[in-house]
Amino acid sequence: MNQLGKRLGGVSELYTKWVITRATTLGIHYPLQRPLSSIIPAPSSLSSSFETKEEFKEQLLKLTRERDDWQTRCKIAELENETLKGEIEMKDHQLLSQRRLIDEKNLLLQQKDALLMGDTKRRKRNMDMFSGPLSDSKDLSASDV
């Protein structure tokens, strides 16, 4: 702690600018923070310019309606968002079901192909057996002549 020196109440602007410049030259993302003066409005703009209580009530009613309108819009957007999430979930479920069905059909096709290949090999072996030098089929054809 002693190595850092006295702790000041605020950070100097020069140091902040140096840190930002150094971060950008090194290619490090540095989120820029707005100074408090740009966030907090000046005191003169905070003071009300209402001359009567009625003007204040009108402005309050207007702002209340605007707030309620934004809340309604927000609720509508949230409902739409939930509806879309539900639709996405249903589509995902449909896609999963279709993928399972496709996988089952592919498995059945592979089994069918394996059976057909086995049957083809068996036929070929049988044909080879009958066309060999010791086959009975040649003897039958020779005795008929």
In whole angstroms, give the CA distance from residue 30 to residue 24. Answer: 7
Q: Averaging pLDDT over each range in 11-20, 77-86, 133-142, which range is the top one?
A: 77-86
pLDDT tens digits, residue range 61-74?
A: 999 999 999 999 99
pLDDT bucket at 46, cuts 50 / 70 / 90: very low
In whole angstroms, give the CA distance from residue 68 to residue 60. Answer: 12
Is residue 111 in a domain? yes
Where in the sequence is the domain holding 125, given as residue range(s)?
96-131
H or E stretch covering 20: helix 13-25
The verdict on pTM exceeding 0.95 is no
Least confident of 33-42, 92-101, 135-144: 135-144
- Cβ-proximal residues to 131 (8 Å cutoff; 6+ apart), any chain: 137
In whole angstroms, give the CA distance from residue 77 to residue 79. Answer: 5
Is residue 1 in a domain? no
Number of domains making up the chain:
1
Is residue 113 in a domain? yes
Is residue 89 in a domain? no
Contact assessment for residue 48 and residue 56, using Cβ atoms and an 8 Å cutoff: yes
Residue 41: per-residue pLDDT: 55
